[in-house]
Every structure is written in C-alpha cells, then in structure tokens.
Amino acid sequence: MIWHIVHILTYFGDSMLLIPTAVIVAIAIKLKSSDPRAVWYWIAAFCTAGAVVSLSKIAFMGFGIGNARFNFTGFSGHSAMSATLWPVLLWLLSGGLSSFWRGVACAVGYFIPLIVGASRLLLHYHSTSEVVTGLTLGFILSTVFLFSQRGRLPQPFAFWQVCLTLLLPVLLLGHGRIATTQQFLQRLSVQLAGIDHAWTREELLKLRHEVAVIQKQLF
C-alpha cells in the first residue's frame, strides 16, 4: 500500500503528465494573464528545464560525463520538471483568491515537487545529488517566472474553467501511463556517441572504485 502511494506521488513528476499539463498552463496564461509576454516566459522556462535535463542525461549516457563522487548521472527530470510546473500552475489557479489563500496555493505548488523528489529517492531511481540539483533547477525557473509576474494577478477562474483546466491532468493521473522519455534519450545518446550501449551508473561507480584502487597501489 505504501509503495503504491509512493508510485502515485512520483507520477506527479512524470513527463506523460507534465508535458500536456504545461501546454494547458500555456493556454491558460495566454487567456488569463494581462502580460502578453507571460506565455513566452512560461514556454522558455519549461523548455529550458527539459533541455537542461535532457542534455545532462545525454552527456552521461552517451559520453560518460558524470560525477562518481556525488553519484551524479544527470538532473532528475521528475524533480526538475515538477518544480518548474506545479508552483506556476497553482499560482495561475489562485488568481481570484485572497492573498492568504494565494500564499497557501503557492506553498502547495512548491511542496509537491519536494514530495516528488523524495519519492524518487525512496524508489532508488536517483541519487540525492540528482534530486537536489533537479529541484534547484526547477525552482529557479518557476521562481524567475513568478518574479516576472510580480504585481500581476491572472484573471480569476470560474469553477467550470478550473475543472476544465484540471480535467486532462486528472485523467492522466487515473490512467497512470508512464512516459518513455528515458528510453528515447538512451537510444539517442548511443547514436550520438556511436557506442554499443549507454553508460550506466554501475559503470561510473565501478570506474571510480578502480581509480581509487590504482591510486592506493601507487601511493
């Protein structure tokens, strides 16, 4: 039961849920924001998160660029993408609320990614360094976006508009289908690097161990 809940929580950072939701957020920002540039700021923030995560994974899986000491093989995509999206979505939906409840909504938006990051650690999908850097990346991007909108509140949502905005995310949560982004990046990394198989965490840690043994023998 506990592990089922953990898997549900980690899905709040899955690309299968976040990418369609990010598109919905872009549409809602376009309709509800008084700043015509806001939608482009949002697209830039979300795409930057995806690009940085993808490039870090390609760098490791294709070219072995990682850090064995910190057990780092790339930013946690679940952590980074959720930290980019959820604070903005909750800010957007809380535009018609009082300042207190807007604060509560934004706090929830920042809390959800922390739960996602913790779930990645509990499921042993990522190391602490990967989750922390992923969350840091995402929180920086979402905070920069929200800072760009300071003094501007999105227009209030009618109840039916809230339901319509959350309809697809709720359906995706119920379906639970997982994105194949990792597998795609793995195949792409192999092709770009011209190697037989992608680098793995085990190989990185093994290499560190071998280097430590050699250094011990020499000194």
Please answer whether residues 192 and 62 qualify as being in contact, where contact means their C-beta atoms are separated by less than 8 angstroms. Answer: yes
Specify the pLDDT at position 114. Answer: 98
Where helices occur in the chain by DSSP H, the ranges are 2-10, 15-32, 38-63, 77-93, 99-122, 128-148, 159-175, 181-193, 201-218
pLDDT tens digits, one per residue of 151-204? 888 888 988 888 888 888 888 887 778 888 889 999 999 999 999 999 999 988
pLDDT tens digits, one per residue of 63-101? 999 998 899 999 999 999 999 999 999 999 998 888 899
Please answer whether residues 61 and 84 qualify as being in contact, where contact means their C-beta atoms are separated by less than 8 angstroms. Answer: no
- Model-level pTM? 0.92
Residue 207 class from Cβ within 10 Å (0-12 exposed, 13-18 middle, 19+ buried)?
A: middle
Distances (CA, A) of 27 to 11, 40, 83, 158: 23, 11, 19, 15
- What average pLDDT score do residues 35-42 get? 95
